[in-house]
Amino acid sequence: MSLPSTYDFGKIDLELIHDDHQELERRLEAVRHAVAQDTTDGLIEALERLRDYALTHYGLEESMMMSSRYPHIREHARMHQRLLGILNRAIHRRRQTSDAPTRETVEGIEELHYLHVSTDDAQFGQWLSGKVV
């Protein structure tokens, strides 16, 4: 979703980000469950569902950042790329080999996700709050 440059931000935008984070948590939980079950199809599907939602969510955040002229967009987007890279590599590896992401890999993804939400996203949320009309 891309927003026009004159877009006026409202509370709904902050709620959208919050709702997205809850959905990402649900999909992370599904990945954790799939790792425990360890079926190739189920695991790839769960990872792809997480990656696809993350891609959409990151696009939304970056679009809001551009429209609000957020000064830290580059560093923030770099972290999005890093998270997507980890997910894409895990999907690729699982498709090409029988290597399933280990519980540690999934925990690493979760840790990075929660760190990003509690620091980078929180910082952007505060910035956006100042723009809310």
Contact positions vs Fe ion (CB under 5 A): 61, 121
Nearest-CB residue to Fe ion? 121
d(CA 26, CA 23): 5
Residue type at position 111: E
- Least gap, CB of 90 to Fe ion (angstroms): 19
Closest CB to Fe ion among 46 and 128? Answer: 128
Residue type at position 11: K
Closest CB to Fe ion among 43 and 54? Answer: 54
- Least gap, CB of 127 to Fe ion (angstroms): 12
Closest CB to Fe ion among 13 and 61? Answer: 61
The region that residue 38 occupies, defined by phi over 0 for left and psi between -120 and 50 for alpha, beta otherwise, is left
- Least gap, CB of 42 to Fe ion (angstroms): 25
Closest CB to Fe ion among 108 and 125? Answer: 125
33: nearest Cα among 105, 111, 103, 115: 103
d(CA 77, CA 98): 31
Q: How far is CA 9 from the centre of its chain?
A: 21
- Least gap, CB of 37 to Fe ion (angstroms): 27
